[in-house]
Structure 1
């Protein structure tokens, strides 16, 4: 089976300089939602038909996706004709780039119905109490599909039909090519309708979908927000049924690609996106944002941001911490309030509890980083690395001017500026001698100064 995705529309109702299919739903482009669902069906090939601002859409596609172009907007039938070279004797499933809510389960049922019946085509339909705006399914007295009529071309009697066309169809490849050769733009829109293909075939089946929301198309930003709400609820329900506690689903945003282990608790106002994996019995949130992170078991993250980070078991983070790209926290590490890390490895049992910046650093085991410590990793041109060994105690308000190598068992006095390497077991101080002038303030006051 092959999959062809139509994504050539202009999407003028989005009121945007970007093509409609590039707009994002829960952090991922509409078109890529459809592509990722299609890939789960294990098709032999996937292709998309592009049109409006195709050069922009191409940038979000992977190399395994074939691309065809619809140079003129002459209807869905014309869009498929533009990819005629993609159609062969394999079955071909037609999807749409602006319908991201379709599920793998529904498409598998459609494909199975098609294969079981050996139909020329199988159309995904659904029943609506108010079918306004949709093409109607016309059946004969035996309940077999004989035509699909777009609403603009329906009679008054046909407009009362409640079974509508979703747009999703699977064809035998050769039958689709035959049907395309027969369609003409003889309609009120002057377009080549793909919906005219089934009436030119001998045997067309239907599969009736129960959940109409799966085939909702997105044409404006109001519908985009509605789709986001549906996808979010679907995702959160699945997680909760699999053993994750979500305290307030109304304020929690988790993308469907995220994996979370049992007995983890997600507190309110938390956002988790991307390729994120969270282990068991963690506590995440409130007011936390996590993107593309690998998180172990028994981890606590409170009011913090984590992006492209790896976090092992029993780590605590926050509140108000920021873990940037390249952060790797090993077991039992503690990152406290107002701590920022970037391209930094912190080994077991080490901690940075307060007001600290650690960039381009490697920190050993059992290290204490005092409040106000920073790694001065940037000289205005290049970034430099800091190495801190095991069992090092860094006093508060210390500046480590990279590149610098601090070996095991070093103690650095508070308020130091460290510019040179420190051998193991040493005490290092890098501050000016304190000067105290007794009664200096009182003498100045007496002089009126």
Structure 2
């Protein structure tokens, strides 16, 4: 069966888009499920194996074993079909990368990052083992890491169910030599503990940056798994974690953890924040902003350099510091800074705070009162300076003072009203009835 972008499988339902990977028995394509309008992964038997009854039967076995597994950490199988003497599997599309690509890019992974992946893989394997399926080919290339960090186990192509007969000849080894368990290397049947040994090799590789056993040929590597002791892990690896990995790589299966579930629990105890789902999630207790501010610890004191001074200065001292007057914003002993406008705390802080509060509340009324007083004083002063005063009445007639036409040579205004009410002239000349009345000025 020819594979290329645009080729449709399953009666035109699955349309191939691009090739993702190529394995020993098949190639994986990203495709579109036109019937359900979703992205899927399609594994197609390679052209050189098309028409081979043995490989077709293995494809069918993988389809049956995968269809029996339903677990968050196992890639789900959607469909299976045969076309033009070949076969294909339609599976869940995992957007991410295999662990092998990650280890090629970062040979050594920190335990905080690696342990959740191992725990998730162990849980997925445990689910398969409970269903009676042994993977037999656990390796980084078959452990997919989604962008969210979630693990998906894939490629059950050489898996074996409990009720299935082996399709290999006597003494024929199935699996990848670098991750092969000792019992598989000598031709004994693979068990769930064999999958845990292979996962131990993956753990060793992620912590040490290399596999425990290497050799010029696959046979040499398989013999090393059987006979050679496991090289110690680097001293930088936590002792408890190193002991667990060595236990996984025990030559005797009974010395390994009893199940994938037990192994996942051991990984969780080494990483306390890994929940049962296997995905490390940090969740903090929700607090109000005010409580968060109260609980915030004071800033740590600056680190001391070997010469006894506080850490390296970030800027030269100011003029005030050079003059010995200290900076404008002094640094307290607890590491906090005191602003030049700040008020030192004392026993009267509460009283002062209360008084300042009342002042702020009465500020507007006080300003209005001051403005009213200023206006009243201004009006009184203007009336005093510009107003006129009435004179005492004479003969029952109120005489209003007027400004004189002139005054005596000395500048004194001495005009007084006459007995008949007509004022005399300021220059001692009797005033006539038609003349205007002068202003009366009294000095007391």
- Larger relative contact order (C-alpha < 8 A, sep ≥ 6)? 2
| Structure with higher strand content | 1
| Structure with higher helix content | 2
